[in-house]
Amino acid sequence: MRGKKRLTDRWAPTPKVMGVPWLVVLLGLHCAGIYLFTRGFLLTRTELSASSLPSDLHLSPCSSSSSDDPDPAPHHLHPSRPGWTRPTVDRILILIVDALRFDFVAPSTFFQEKKPWMDRLSLLQHLASTQPNSSRIFKAIADPPTTSLQRLKALTTGGLPTFIDVGNSFGAPAIKEDNWLHQLVKNGRRVVMMGDDTWTQLFPEHFNESYPYPSFNVKDLDTVDNGVVQHLEPWLHREDWDVLIGHFLGVDHAGHIYGVDSLPMIQKLEQINAIIQNVTDVMKSQKHLENTMLIVMGDHAQTLNGDHGGGTSEEVETCLFAWMPRSLPSSISSIFDQSTCSLDLNGGNICTSTMQQLDFAVSISALLGIPFPFGSIGRVNPELYALSPGSWDPQWHLTAFCEDSRSDLETWKHNYAHVLCINSWQVKRYIDSYSATSVMGFPTDDLRHITDLYNKAQSSWSGSKNSPCMPENGTINGFSNFLLSFAALARSAWTEFDLKLMGVGLGIIIISIICHILVFVRVHSQSNVYGNKTEKSSDHLQISVAFFLVAVRAVSFLSNSYILAEGRVANFLLASTAIASTRSSLVYGKFKKHDLVFLILIIFIRFGIEMGMTKQAVTNPFLKYDSGSDFDSKWLPSLFQGHDFATLFSEVSPMIFLFLLAFVSYKIITCIVDASGIKWIVTIGAMLSYALIVTFWLSERSFAPRMVYGIGFGLLVLNFVIRSTGILERGDALQRLRNLALVMVAAWIPTILILLGKQGPFAVLVCVFAGWSIISSKNKGLLDDCKMDPISVMQWSLLAICLFYQTGHWCTFDGLRYGAAFIGFDEFKIVRQAILLFIDTFGISHILPIFSLPFLVVLPASSSSKKRDKTVIFLNLTQVYLLYGLITAITTTLTILCVAIQRRHLMVWGLFAPKYVFDAIGLLLTDVLICISALFYC
């Protein structure tokens, strides 16, 4: 009925397409579904607001002896300070080296091969090998997500921060949970911080003095480090501090910009080595620092590319080095795990241990003698605890008759068992309170098992307390067993998925898909009123082929391997469609050049994707000097390795591609736009932008990118003016649509180009030619060349995915090309940089393909001689947009489903969750862009 009515008003001045309100409804449904699912999926851990109090200790079974036998010999260090355990060190100096890999610190003899970045922190190795009784290198295993903010939160609270916080990383909210900084401040200790300003954002009121430096400017390797150096030494000579935190960012930034295997990285490591050398010299000479523990540690590690965020061993295996100026009893060696020892470069023996980063918070609290953070679930690390001299002193409640017969080691064990008892009691208290307040606690069976372990350990403790000369091994093992089991349980079962919300969200999205299909079918049947009905069968075949491909792609997300290889899978499918279309042109006996061009382009795309994947895995030696020049500087020079020609080529080839692109754009503009005024404006705008891009590459001047953004914005405004004033209304609908679409694309290309860096021209050229091939291979042999071809739309969407991966992006947060956010701007402003990063990430894979979709309808139609009426064109355009949206929606739905199914998968935070976030944002962006395009073009 509606179709009939439409026939009558086909010459109405502004034909309305019924799809637009529906598109908005779909957008709303997607928003609601994704919002609910995200609430259910990423809301994970209930943060408890309670915090530990010094007076809580009398509740624990561990302190009974001390309560009826008040401390006979108050500790000489801090007699007045309340705490749960006795402080064992005076001060702690924590130097955090962001993104410190384990192999930066451990001697190269630990690894199969000596790499240039190894053995640069020679001082730490020297200390570890010459003073084995007062220093130790630990391999500290962090928990994913390995982003700085999450790690700092984990280091201070002793908990397992979850994925949702990654989203807060830009906003850096203050930590609300109990943590050792909070405990320090409450118990009258003085904390000084210098370095990364994330600390002051996390702890706005905790520091007596702080010297924060901006952390977001990745290109800046020195400001933060120099700031720390400037303030560190004066503070070392002062006595009015208890904990000093220095956070160096240079290593992290050098990794992000240049990769691990680079000269700046080595220089940074050597600088850090010199700083630590200086610090240890001061510590040896100053009397007040005699009982100070120096901790040099990483918050997380990094891959060879300098990326971090995931859960691979390269990213989680960071390092912790602890050193005391005072030497300790030699029996300490029996506490240390001697299993991983090796000769260092100078022939000395060097040993390392392994610890969980989770244990750091509680270990620090035990060393400083403050109440353990309420939410900490770690275990006081025996080796770190043994490094403090105080842990070897006889405890206050030790009965006198046993004291003489005890060796150092037994005293230590007794002290440690006492600390572990409090530790276990605190964790148990947390478990109980968590189970009571949280809607979904831990599984009852596991909880019962944990409680059993706790009770067993406690009874062993009470037994040993009654006869204090008994060896403590059983007790220590019992407590350790309990704590380790609980940490394992927490790791496996922590993420508290709200299945109900997830289900509702998924349901809404599935409903939206059904609506989508219904709308699509309706528009499709409406367009069939105009079309040739005899071709219905081939039409159905094409739609089913397209949906078969969508289904293959979507189902592939069930496996983590396919998500990792998504770019290759998309390329495989795109190549399959290209081969099939070549085959069908052969069937009709006419082999066309665009088929061959398309196949060759796919080979280029394929190599680009593979290069992107290798960047993800290992650093390529040719990628050092420019984070933007991913593609060309990567695989082209590797063919001519070791020649000056290679560098020259990688410098020059982007220029050549850019000139080629300029030529092609000129051709396209003159060929497509027919209104001469607009044609000139667009041509001048494009050429000026290209010239500015070249200027930027040659001179690195920041005015050029800004002007490029300005020109792009100007063209957009012009386009809206054209659209709203109706300058083009005189021409027919096809021409109008062509002009609008071209100006739109021309407005976006230079911005995307400059953000993509030197790989940009090649990627955009590939995009243009591949688009051209898809358009010209469309609907081969069919008579009705204006009809929507589902396979072309499918190819368009596969091409968009391929371009995403080809341009060096991938679906993880460390895959974001942060360098792009600073093109044209040096200082950091959150909104501006976020917009640039967003355009860089989604520009070539979402914005460009969606805005250029009209060409898929318009160009074949205008090449035919047949006169088209407006309504048919707009119906086809709506169909194309609906189908494109449907393809994206279906794949995203499957991603969501797979994430829901795989929510207990090992890689859920490393792989599935980032994929989900990227796909969800991609879907919403696609919907928004489709709505804009539908409103704009129709």
Binding positions for another protein, rule: CB under 8 A = 559-562, 564-565, 568-569, 571-572, 575-576, 578-579, 583, 586-587, 589, 599, 602-603, 606
Cβ of residue 587: shortest distance to another protein, in angstroms?
5
> Residue 420 carries which side chain, given as an amino acid letter?
L
Query: Smallest distance from the beta carbon of 579 to another protein, in angstroms?
Result: 6
Three-class secondary structure assignment of 116-182: CCCCCCHHHHHHHHHCCCCEEEEEEECCCCCCHHHHHHHHHHCCCCCCHHHHCCCCCCCCCCCCHHH
Which CB atom, from 488 or from 586, has the smaller least distance to another protein? 586
Nearer to another protein, 384 or 802 (CB): 802
Token pair for residue 402?
A: 């046993």
Question: For residues 181 and 569, which CB has a smaller minimum distance to another protein in the complex?
Answer: 569
Minimal distance, residue 602 CB to another protein, in Å: 5
With respect to another protein, which residue has the nearer C-beta, 198 or 806? 806
Q: What are phi and psi of 249, to 5 degrees?
A: -110, -10
User: HEC states along 766-814?
Assistant: HHHHHHHHHHHHCCCCCCCCCCCCHHHHHHHHHHHHHHHHHCCCCCCHH
Structure tokens at 106: 């451990």
Structure tokens given for 635: 């695989």
Report the relative pairing of strands 243-248 and 91-97 from DSSP bridges: parallel
For 53, phi and psi rounded to 5 degrees?
-115, 150
**Closest CB to another protein among 263 and 596?**
596
Handedness of CA 882, 886, 887, 892 (dihedral sign): positive
Nearer to another protein, 234 or 589 (CB): 589
Nearest to 620 by CA among 309, 306, 268, 300: 306
Query: Minimum distance between the CB of residue 918 and another protein, rounded to whole angstroms?
Result: 19
Output the CA–CA distances (angstroms, integers) from residue 414 to 69, 398, 459, 799, in the order listed: 17, 9, 15, 66
Asked if 85 and 422 touch (Cβ cutoff 8 Å), the reply is yes
For the bound state, the minimum distance from the C-beta of residue 849 to another protein, rounded and expressed in Å, comes to 21
Query: Smallest distance, Å, CB 610 to another protein?
Result: 8
Distance, in Å, from the CA atom of 305 to the CA atom of 624, rounded to the nearest integer, reads 10
Q: Cβ of residue 113: shortest distance to another protein, in angstroms?
A: 21
Q: CB 898 → another protein: shortest distance, Å?
A: 15
- CA proximity to 750, closest of 718, 800, 707: 707
C-alpha distances (whole Å) from 806 to each of 612, 666, 757, 816, 895 are: 6, 25, 13, 14, 21
Given the complex with another protein, which of 525 and 561 has the nearer CB atom?
Answer: 561
H-helix segments, 700-787: 703-725, 733-756, 760-777
Closer to another protein by Cβ: residue 166 or 575: 575
Q: How far apart are CA 234 and CA 232, in angstroms?
A: 6
Nearer to another protein, 209 or 610 (CB): 610
In the bound state with another protein, the residue whose beta carbon lies nearer, of 282 and 565, is 565
Other residues' Cβ atoms within 10 Å of the Cβ of residue 185: 17
Choice between 559 and 699, CB closer to another protein: 559
- In whole angstroms, the minimum distance from the beta carbon of 906 to another protein comes to 11
- Picking from 815, 818, 811, the residue whose alpha carbon sits closest to that of residue 911 is 811
To another protein, the closest distance from the beta carbon of 539 in angstroms equals 14
DSSP letter for 61, please. G
CB of 790 to another protein, least distance (A): 18
Q: Residues 375, 159: contact at Cβ < 8 Å?
A: yes
Give 338 or 561: the residue with its C-beta nearer to another protein.
Answer: 561
Kind plus residue range of the DSSP H or E element containing 321: strand 317-323
Residue 204 CA to residue 784 CA, distance in Å, equals: 67
Minimum CB separation of residue 852 from another protein in Å reads 24
Contacts for 473 with CB less than 8 Å, ≥ 6 apart? 413
Q: Report the residue number, 611 or 722, with the smaller CB distance to another protein.
A: 611
